[in-house]
């Protein structure tokens, strides 16, 4: 049986939310947030985090427009994805439609009765977990 350990990313303008799957590739867990410092530095930080956690796959949330079109935000994510792919070596790189991921994560955090201040602190990594979980569920059993 092959296992997949994956890193999920919610790429924003100021931060990148990061989630990690469990060792069996079944469940996604929020991990951290990376402050954006430029494409090269961000890509290096992502690959280093992937290596640290021995991941096999990196999943980028792709912010498509409601029409399904890849707008300017999606193009910015793809530039980062391409930079990560250029230095990631054997790590598999994927995209996952992230429409509504932040909204869904926000609903979960509100249901958990987190304060607005606390939600702001964890929303990016929670959205990354939502993105990664969608990708894990779509691939089915490892």
Q: Quick one: pLDDT at residue 122?
A: 63
CB atoms within 10 A of CB 38: 10
pLDDT tier at 2, thresholds 50, 70, 90? low
User: What DSSP state is assigned to residue 113?
Assistant: T
pLDDT tier at 102, thresholds 50, 70, 90? low
Q: What percent of the chain has pLDDT over 90?
A: 57
Question: For residue range 40-88, what is the model confidence (pLDDT) as tens digits?
Answer: 999 999 999 999 999 999 999 998 777 778 788 889 999 999 999 999 9
DSSP H or E stretch at residue 122: helix 116-139
Q: Quick one: pLDDT at residue 105?
A: 63
Widest Cα–Cα separation across the chain: 43
Taking phi over 0 as left and psi of -120 to 50 as alpha, with beta for the rest, 89 belongs to left
Least confident of 12-21, 83-92, 95-104, 113-122: 113-122
91-115 mean pLDDT: 73
């Amino acid at each position: 049986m092959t296992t997949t350990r994956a890193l999920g990313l919610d790429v924003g303008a100021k931060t990148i939310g990061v989630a990690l799957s469990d060792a069996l590739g079944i469940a996604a867990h929020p991990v951290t947030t990376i402050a954006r410092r430029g494409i090269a530095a961000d890509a290096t930080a992502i690959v280093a985090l992937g290596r640290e956690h021995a991941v096999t796959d990196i999943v980028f949330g792709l912010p498509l427009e409601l029409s399904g079109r890849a707008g300017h935000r999606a193009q910015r994510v793809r530039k980062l994805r391409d930079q990560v792919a250029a230095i990631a070596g054997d790590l598999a790189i994927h995209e996952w439609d992230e429409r509504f991921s932040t909204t869904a994560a926000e609903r979960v955090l509100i249901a958990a009765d987190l304060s607005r201040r606390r939600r702001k602190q964890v929303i990016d990594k929670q959205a990354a977990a939502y993105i990664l979980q969608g990708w894990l569920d779509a691939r089915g059993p490892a």
